[in-house]
Structure 1
Amino acid sequence: MSGPARPEPGLSPERLAFFTDAIFAIAMTLLAVELGRPDEKELVSVRALGSFLVDRRNSYLAFALAFVLLWSVWRRHHELMDRIGGLSRAFTAWHAPFLLLVAFLPFPTAVIGTSIGNPLAQTLFAGTMAAMVFCEAVIKDIAGNSGLVTGDPAEIHRHAGASWGVGLWFVLSIGAAWLFPYAFVLWFVAPLAATYGGALISRLRTSPAGHPDLRNGDRPRT
């Protein structure tokens, strides 16, 4: 009697999930490592330490923002992997740029922590986030299109639409950063882009114009 079917070597969902979790954990830890530490002269009095903490308030803001963003991306990926029944080579390959950007995020976070009003610093952070969630969206679309998920693939495509919406919101903030020094405030309302922008993108992607049968001049069957 043969045992249960084993995945093709290199295409084990559990191993990919464990590796992804490890990269996220390391990146989220490095966000704190990048925070500056007070030296001896800044620890001699309450006033000196208070001045040190106030001077680095932007670093703490950047840390909190990046941590929450990484947490939300990780949670969405965790939910996706819990529904994955198998892997494809394309699904696995797209994790390389996705995780590269996750591991890279502590660097632009440290940069905006020291110069949060600098448009180039904001461009670096927003560009990294946009590329990351675009990779996330592609991974979700591949999962839905390739039959890798259990349940309704349409739900995965809706989640992908939300990721596309967030990515486009970060791209929009890049343009705003060169016009307004406080364009980074847009990042705090990225969940609205996921909710409303994602819903709009999902409707556009499932509109009659995008239906494969209608593009061929046919009518959908009822």
Structure 2
Amino acid sequence: MGEPERVAPGTTHERVGAFVDAVFAIAMTLLVVEIHRPPADLVEGDEPRLVMAARLWGFLGDNWTTWLAFLIAFLILWGVWREHHRTLDMVTRVSPRIMARHVPLLVVVVLLPYATGLIGESVSNPLTVCLFATAVAALLLAQAALLRAILRDDVLRPGTDVAALRAQAATLLAAGLFWLLTAGLTWLVEGVPLLWVLAPVVGAVSARRFAARA
């Protein structure tokens, strides 16, 4: 039985994964902070209970964009985290290039709650829509760049499906470009956030296409 591969200090993927897990967990938790809280007079008062409930329900309905932004951002962070977790399980070590690719990824992760809060304030303002879509695009593109670095640096465990990993990187690239396109379109047309419901379709079609080519 051969000796296990020696990993230089500071290149263990376990510590990197633990740190990334913590950053994602904090960012996903901070998303809820951006959800608008009702003023005290909507929660308590001398009015009949049903009247107070109706007023609170109206407040929640008026702030539906905040909940929509929260849901989209949470699901995207969850998906990218799951992909990152799966990918790190395939590597034996973290190269300097891979470590460097984590910097833009984590920067966007911690900034996404802020972009989510902005679009929650107004979905009709083109700048808030543009910033949110750009943040999501940057997150997906940073994850794609990380996968490309892993493929280039010969750190994969034996038996890893390299073709599937290449297809996943291409899928993330296509999804990131889709979000970047919507960021530009918001300056030309209204209702761009409605296009975001197509994001899962774009991802699924891209994944099937690139998997077939692999």
Which TM-score applies when normalising by structure 2? 0.88
Match of 2:142 among 135, 146, 171: 135
Structure 1 residues 32 and 100: alpha-carbon distance in aligned structure 2, compared to 1, 3 A threshold? same
Deviation at 1:202, TM superposition (A): 7.4
- CA deviation profile, 1:98-138 (whole Å, cap 9, x unmatched): 00100100001011111112211111011111111111101
Residue in 2 that maps onto 1:216: none
Whether the 8 Å contact between 1:147 and 1:153 is mirrored in structure 2 is: no
Residue in 2 that maps onto 1:57: 64
Match of 2:75 among 58, 61, 68: 68
Structure 1 runs, 4 residues or longer, greater than 3 Å off:
3-6, 197-204
Match of 1:159 among 150, 168, 171: 168
Structure 1 position 170 matched with structure 2 position 158: no
Structure 1 position 92 matched with structure 2 position 99: yes
Residue in 2 that maps onto 1:116: 123
Deviation at 1:200, TM superposition (A): 5.2
C-alpha separation between the residues in 1 aligned to 2:194 and 2:210? 23
Whether the 8 Å contact between 1:164 and 1:198 is mirrored in structure 2 is: no
Q: List gaps (5 residues or longer) in structure 2.
A: 45-51
Q: List gaps (5 residues or longer) in structure 1.
A: 207-222
1:8 aligns to what SS in structure 2?
Answer: coil
Deviation at 1:194, TM superposition (A): 2.1
Q: CA RMSD in A?
A: 2.1
Which TM-score applies when normalising by structure 1? 0.85
Q: Structure 2 matches for 1:1-222, cutoff 5 A?
A: 4-44=4-44, 45-150=52-157, 151-198=160-207
Deviation at 1:187, TM superposition (A): 1.9
C-alpha separation between the residues in 2 aligned to 1:195 and 1:51? 36
2:177 aligns to what SS in structure 1?
Answer: helix
Structure number with greater CO (CA < 8 Å, separation at least 6) is: 2
Deviation at 1:12, TM superposition (A): 1.1
C-alpha separation between the residues in 2 aligned to 1:166 and 1:26? 24
Residue in 2 that maps onto 1:212: none
C-alpha separation between the residues in 1 aligned to 2:67 and 2:138? 23
Whether the 8 Å contact between 1:169 and 1:190 is mirrored in structure 2 is: yes
